[in-house]
Amino acid sequence: MTLANANRRDIIVDFTHAPDELFLENIMEQTDGRGPKGINPKKKVNLLKFIVEGNPVEGNLVIAEGTPLRPHVALNPEDVKITREFKFNRSNGAWQINDKWLSPRRADAVPALGQTERWILKNGGGGWAHPIHIHLSGFQVQSLNGRTPPKEIQFNNDTVALEGGDEAEILIRFSTFTVPFALHCHILEHEDMRMMSVFDPQPAGQLSPCDGVTAIDPMISGIAHHPQGLFGDRGPVDIPLIQDQGVGIPHTDFTPGGGGVAPSPTEVGRKHNSGKN
Ligand SMILES: [Cu+2]
């Protein structure tokens, strides 16, 4: 099975006829940061070692295909009253959703609590994969590029992997909290460079306080005043400050209002890795 960043699968392993010692291997070869090269069992990397010992377990369960394990409640497409689209695209050397930069003060979706929604998640292309992770509620993939998705992603997921140009149709229903949550690409460099969006489930008909302008109580939102003014406690995010910086948050040497020369993303990564920042 392929697991993108943050993907999870429940699996059942039958060790009845296993050797005394065996390994879970990663056979997806990857030699640089641009993505995996493909499956290559000769370039395997051991991830986990199993030692199998002792006698067969009494009352060993037989799990056959179709054995019910955990009840699955399928969301019904006929309940959908609203469809939203999220396109994951590149801009200014960083990443956007629906051509917008992340603002923690702006909810890009205000789903009604308890209502099933259809979301279209679209990789804007350009060759990069985006494993899209949605917080707060599981979702069920209805179709992938217009076709029936693989069985393992038809049930509850919190992440769906989108290769370049892929489009997933999902059903999602929020029934718990009414505070701003995030959806984002789970490749760390992409989420760090703003491929993130805020949604704020509310009772039907109620507006979100995250209107993009109003100050949000930092005790509720976690949005503290940023010393460089990017995420101040009021007003829209100052787009000129982040344009052409190549990264979501400028390096600390960056002077707001001009003068500073922004480092390349590589330099930022190196400085952050030095432990001084
Ligand atoms: Cu991504």
Q: How many CB atoms lie within 10 A of CB 254?
A: 18
Distance between Cα 129 and ligand 1 center (Å) = 6
| Residues bordering ligand 1, an ion, CB closer than 5 Å | 130, 185, 187, 190
Q: Looking at residue 217, what is its pLDDT?
A: 62
User: Residue 171: enclosing H or E segment and its boundaries?
Assistant: strand 167-173
| pLDDT band at residue 227 under the 50/70/90 scheme | very low
Q: What is the pTM of this model?
A: 0.78
**How do residues 187-214 score in pLDDT, each as one tens digit?**
998 998 889 999 999 999 999 888 877 7
6 versus 101: the higher-pLDDT residue is 6
Asked if pLDDT for residue 263 goes beyond 60, the answer is no
| pLDDT band at residue 240 under the 50/70/90 scheme | low
Asked if pLDDT for residue 273 goes beyond 80, the answer is no
Domain ranges for the chain, please list them: 21-51, 77-215
Q: Is 269 helix (H, G, I), strand (E, B) or coil?
A: helix
Distance between Cα 203 and ligand 1 center (Å) = 31
Q: At the fourth CATH level, which superfamily is domain 77-215?
A: Cupredoxins -  blue copper proteins (2.60.40.420)
Instruction: Give residue 244's identity as a one-letter amino acid code.
Output: D
**How do residues 24-70 score in pLDDT, each as one tens digit?**
999 999 988 778 889 999 999 999 999 999 888 888 777 888 888 88
How far is 100 from 43, CA to CA, in rounded Å? 40
Distance between Cα 126 and ligand 1 center (Å) = 11
Q: Looking at residue 216, what is its pLDDT?
A: 64
Distance between Cα 196 and ligand 1 center (Å) = 10
| pLDDT band at residue 180 under the 50/70/90 scheme | confident
How far is 154 from 137, CA to CA, in rounded Å? 15
